[in-house]
Amino acid sequence: MHHASSKPFAPIARLERLPLPDAQVFYAERVSYDDSPEVLLDRLIAETDWRSEAIVLWGRRYGQPRLTAWFGDPGAHYSYSGISLDPMPWTDTLRAIKCSVERLTGSVFNSVLANLYRDNRDSMGFHSDDEPELGDAIASASFGEQRTFVLRHKRRRDIEPVKLQLRSGSCLLMRGETQRYWQHGVPKERRPCGPRVNLTFRRILL
């Protein structure tokens, strides 16, 4: 019988490698955080200064179909698609999540891009995080509504796109040559759904 408890949400977490060619992708369904994913979702939404940014694609400006925020150590600047981001200081919530992700992955991160998908209409287009200032490991922590994360190979059309259902409280780790050979994205959902916060931890090369 399950009993309600105020103790921290701390199941045993384990990364499992996904069988993808030209990639090092790992997934853990549950991560040992200091609070439940539901509590962390509410806290992240409330504590974050969310922004609506415009990106430049093929010389034209488009509003991103989600809200974002950039946090990190001093000097961890990041630029992509015409956006230049200066890091906001770590919140206690983000720092605690970062520590849990670092314990799980064995990597050290100095920055995080927070993404708020408000409902099923918010999305992220296909791209690779292959900017030269990024390190070779990106950890993606998810909280809230389960969304579909799609990976597709850049060169080999014989490989079908891979669709992953990222659960609340999960972590996806992409390392090595993954960004060189694969793109990833989060499409819109047909079904109505609630909010999701995704935290992509990176190590900016200072």
What pLDDT sits at residue 57?
59
Residue 106 forms part of a structural domain: yes
Domain that holds residue 54: 16-202
What pLDDT sits at residue 174?
97
For the chain, how far is it from start to end, CA to CA, in angstroms?
A: 51
Is residue 3 pLDDT above 80, yes or no?
no
pLDDT digits (tens, 9 = 90+) for 132-187: 778 789 999 999 999 999 999 999 999 999 999 999 999 999 999 999 999 999 99
Taking residues 1-25, report their average pLDDT: 69
Residue 5 forms part of a structural domain: no
Number of domains in the chain: 1
Residue 23 forms part of a structural domain: yes
Residue 161 forms part of a structural domain: yes
> Which of 117, 126, 129, 115 is CA-nearest to residue 189?
117
Report the interhelical angle of 92-105 vs 37-47 (nearest 10°): 130
Residue 117 forms part of a structural domain: yes
For all residues of the chain together, what is the average pLDDT? 89
Q: How many Cβ atoms are within 10 Å of 76's Cβ, its own excluded?
A: 21
- Count helices and strands in the chain by DSSP H and E runs: 3, 15
User: C-alpha 110: how far from its chain's center?
Assistant: 14
What pLDDT sits at residue 79?
79
What pLDDT sits at residue 132?
76
Higher pLDDT, residue 72 or 3: 72
Residue 183 forms part of a structural domain: yes
CA distances from 59 to 67, 78, 84, 206 (A): 22, 20, 16, 28
pLDDT digits (tens, 9 = 90+) for 98-136: 999 999 999 999 999 999 999 999 999 999 988 877 878
Residue 166 forms part of a structural domain: yes
Is residue 18 pLDDT above 90, yes or no?
yes
CATH of the domain at 175: 2.60.120.590
Residue 105 forms part of a structural domain: yes
Q: Is 42 helix (H, G, I), strand (E, B) or coil?
A: helix
What pLDDT sits at residue 56?
62
